[in-house]
């Protein structure tokens, strides 16, 4: 079985650590987690001030996670008699609540090592123990040394790169501790931090601030006939490509949200300029803000490099669904520690308070929309404990009926630009430095999310012609090194590997891993507006919100008919029941890491997934389910 020596937490090396006065004089500890390298973009800055305060978070081992996939299949497999019977948040919390033994062991360790019990707090679902400690206390508790790290933007992070230790009897009860070796490394699939050559207004060369790169279109196309969609993909092009003409019927009961990060925000004038041409009845419409960890909207944002992502998301989802459907804007604060823990915290009040996310008065009371579109991603590298924990939390939310739709990334078989690939020891580096293994994207590799690759209308073609994989940029796709191939993928992925996969060596990619993307949608030359003028943009960050809008429409129809939202959709999409809803994409590839990547092929492939969807057929299949 393919394996790269990723930076795992383990209980292998036992060390003796001298305790402080008042604690046991000698305590056997094991190395719980470590990492070999500092993530790309971060550098060690200095030793941490021993008196600085750290919000220590201890993620406890949760029972029943080995059953998570079977629980999900029971409510998401179209053949299951329990299809659509999503769990309540209370049932989810109780099923995965850590055992009393785990709580006792961790609590006893902390108090024995000198922590006042009054400082120890437990999240409402019992999954996290949190306490504020000084750096000196953290170093004693974890037998480590803390440093301050700095990223390219000047942001700082407290961590202990070389690992931390736990008492031998405590380690089996803890998934991970933060802040330690985990760095927030998620970035936008279409955003200024990625600075990709393709994710930009057409002819701009690089996505930077709009003032440096926008070349306005001389005339914005309406593409009513379906021609010209190879050069300018309008809302009408998208409707024609997928038969997506839907009138919302249950807007007051249905919900859809889009995740945005930091200072990336929409520009209200741009929205109106876009709507004036392509959705006149939506002029003046705005997304509804849900602030998380201090996130705020800035509809007057004038920095073009910070509006690109949000403008694109809201123009597409709002434009395709129409004025009646409210679209929610999950705006995360600075996101330095990542974007998913603040999101999970926003759904759990006690979790939120314990974690210190105090920027929003609705902290912990945040509504869960039925669909969340996410165009931020990072690489599947670093500690697998954090990767697995994030994926499991997404799976638990899917149990309650939430659909995560994610962009697959814009660099082919690499998760980052600039030919960033994996070396034999699992670290990320350039090809010239010996990094030749494919670098999967996370959270796209999580089996509990639906991942969308990008397609394009073939040059000179129309919306009636088969689409191709994008060539202006390589759509992200490949196989996980952390998550095994889920059962719902077995048939189609095995077919691809046996008939169409390139003959790369076993050290290049993991043939037994979860394959991605799942589906595809157009992500090429999407017409948008910047500074009130039309332009075009490309990236899987367009593909994800397009598909999310279609799933939101499916939910609307089901809710109007008295049925539940679809929730986790992957088992249905891969089932024989849904086999004829796809427009197969068989042309193109996704190069990277010094190779041509993977070729598109009949059926599923790691470039465009199962293909693009025929919306009327997809809607019909979902409506036929209970």
Q: HSE (CB half, 13 Å, CA atoms) of 486? A: 24
Residues in the chain predicted with pLDDT less than 70, given as ranges, are: 1-27, 184-226, 300-307, 334-338, 348-365
CA dist 624 and 441 (Å) reads 34
Phi, psi of 210 (to 5 degrees): -60, -35
How many CB atoms neighbour CB 625 within 10 A?
16
What single string gives the DSSP state of each residue in 425-478? TS-EEEGGGT--B-B-EETTT-TTSEEEEEEEPPTT--TTSPPEE-SSSPPP-E
Question: Residue 386 and residue 184: Cα distance in Å, rounded?
Answer: 10
Give the H or E element holding residue 241: helix 235-242
Query: 42 forms bridges with which residues in the sheet?
Result: 151
Q: Say how many residues make up the chain.
A: 626
How far is 477 from 437, CA to CA, in rounded Å?
14
Report DSSP letters for 327-361, one per residue.
EEEEEES--TT-SHHHHHHHT-HHHHHHHT--S-T
Catalytic residue among 125, 230, 236, 313: 313
Residue in the block written with tokens 């293994």:
437
Residue 486 is given by DSSP the state: P
Nearest Cα residue to 578 out of 488, 513, 479, 498: 488
Please state whether beta strands 403-407 and 14-18 pair in parallel, antiparallel, or not at all (unpaired). Answer: unpaired
Residue 156, strand partner residues: 150
pLDDT at 149: 93
Distance CA 114, CA 552 (A): 51
Range list of β-strands (E), 203-308 = 256-261, 288-292
Per residue in 472-525, pLDDT (tens digit) is: 999 999 999 999 999 999 999 999 999 999 999 999 999 999 999 999 999 999
Clarify whether 541 is annotated catalytic: yes
Residue 86 in contact with residue 555, Cβ under 8 Å? no
Find out whether 626 and 558 touch, Cβ atoms under 8 Å: no
Q: Which of 189, 408, 541, 543 is catalytic?
A: 541
Residue with tokens 């037998």: 143
Q: Which pLDDT does position 418 carry in this prediction?
A: 77
Query: Which is the catalytic residue, given 309, 348, 518, 556?
Result: 309
Predicted local confidence at residue 532, as pLDDT = 83
Give me the sign of the Cα torsion angle 340, 343, 349, 355: positive
The count of other CB atoms within 10 Å of the CB of residue 209 is 15
Give the 3-state secondary structure of residue 144: coil
| Ramachandran region, residue 67 (left: φ > 0; alpha: ψ -120 to 50; beta: rest) | alpha
pLDDT at 217: 63
- Cα dihedral angle (496, 499, 503, 509), rounded to 10 degrees? 10
Q: Which strands, in side-by-side order, build the sheet including 147-151?
A: 42-47, 147-151, 156-159
């Amino acid at each position: 079985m393919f394996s790269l020596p990723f930076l795992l937490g383990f209980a292998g090396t036992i060390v003796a650590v001298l305790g402080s006065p008042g604690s046991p004089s000698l305590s056997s500890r094991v190395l719980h987690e470590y990492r070999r390298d500092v993530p790309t973009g971060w550098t060690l800055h200095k030793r941490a001030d021993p008196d600085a305060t750290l919000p220590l978070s201890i993620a406890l081992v949760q029972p029943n996670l080995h059953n998570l996939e079977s629980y999900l299949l029971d409510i998401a497999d179209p053949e299951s008699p329990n299809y659509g019977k999503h769990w309540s948040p209370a049932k989810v919390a109780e099923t995965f609540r850590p055992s009393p033994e785990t709580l006792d062991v961790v609590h006893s360790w902390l108090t024995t090592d000198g922590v006042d019990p009054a400082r120890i707090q437990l999240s409402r679902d019992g999954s996290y123990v949190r306490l504020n400690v000084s750096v000196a206390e953290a170093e004693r508790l974890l037998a480590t040394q803390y440093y301050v790290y700095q990223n390219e933007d000047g942001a700082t992070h407290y961590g202990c790169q070389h690992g931390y230790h736990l008492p031998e009897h405590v380690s089996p009860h803890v998934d991970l501790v933060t802040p330690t070796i985990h760095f927030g490394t998620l970035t936008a699939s279409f955003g200024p931090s990625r600075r990709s050559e393709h994710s930009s207004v057409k002819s701009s060369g690089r996505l930077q601030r709009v003032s440096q790169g926008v070349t306005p279109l001389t005339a914005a196309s309406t593409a009513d006939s379906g021609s010209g969609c190879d050069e300018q993909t309008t809302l009408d092009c998208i409707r024609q490509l997928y038969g997506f003409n839907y009138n919302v019927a249950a807007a007051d009961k249905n919900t859809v949200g889009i995740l945005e990060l930091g200072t990336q925000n929409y520009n209200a004038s741009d929205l109106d300029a876009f709507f004036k041409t392509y959705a006149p009845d939506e002029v003046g419409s705005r997304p509804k803000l849900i602030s998380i960890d201090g996130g705020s909207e800035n509809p007057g944002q004038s920095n073009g490099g910070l509006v690109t992502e949000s403008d694109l998301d809201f123009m597409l989802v709002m434009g395709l669904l129409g004025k009646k459907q409210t679209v929610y804007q999950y705006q995360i604060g600075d996101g330095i520690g990542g974007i998913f823990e603040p999101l999970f915290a926003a759904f759990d009040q006690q979790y939120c308070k314990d974690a210190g996310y105090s920027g929003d008065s609705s902290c912990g009371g945040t509504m869960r929309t039925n669909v969340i579109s996410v165009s931020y991603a990072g690489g599947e590298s670093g500690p697998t404990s954090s990767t697995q924990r994030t994926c499991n939390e997404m799976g638990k939310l899917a149990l309650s009926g939430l659909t995560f739709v994610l962009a697959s990334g814009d660099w082919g078989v690499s998760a980052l630009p600039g030919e960033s690939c994996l070396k034999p020891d699992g670290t990320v580096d350039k090809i010239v430095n010996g990094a030749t293994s494919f670098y999967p994207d996370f959270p796209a590799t999580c089996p509990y999310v639906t991942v969308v690759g990008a397609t394009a209308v073939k040059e000179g073609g129309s919306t009636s012609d088969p689409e191709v994989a994008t060539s202006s940029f390589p759509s992200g796709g490949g196989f996980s090194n952390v998550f095994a191939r889920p059962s719902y993928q077995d048939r189609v992925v095995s077919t691809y590997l046996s008939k169409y996969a390139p003959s790369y060596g076993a050290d290049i990619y993991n043939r037994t891993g979860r394959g991605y993307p799942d589906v595809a949608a157009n992500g090429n030359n999407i017409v948008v507006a910047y500074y009130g003028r039309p332009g075009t943009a490309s990236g899987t960050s367009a593909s994800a919100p397009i598909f999310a809008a279609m799933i939101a429409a499916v939910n609307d129809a089901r809710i109007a008919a008295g049925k539940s939202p679809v929730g986790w959709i992957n088992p249905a999409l891969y089932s024989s029941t849904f086999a004829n809803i796809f427009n197969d994409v068989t042309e193109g590839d996704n190069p990277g890491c010094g190779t041509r990547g993977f070729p598109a092929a009949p059926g599923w492939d790691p470039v465009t997934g199962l293909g693009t969807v025929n919306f009327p057929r997809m809607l019909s299949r979902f409506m036929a389910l209970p």
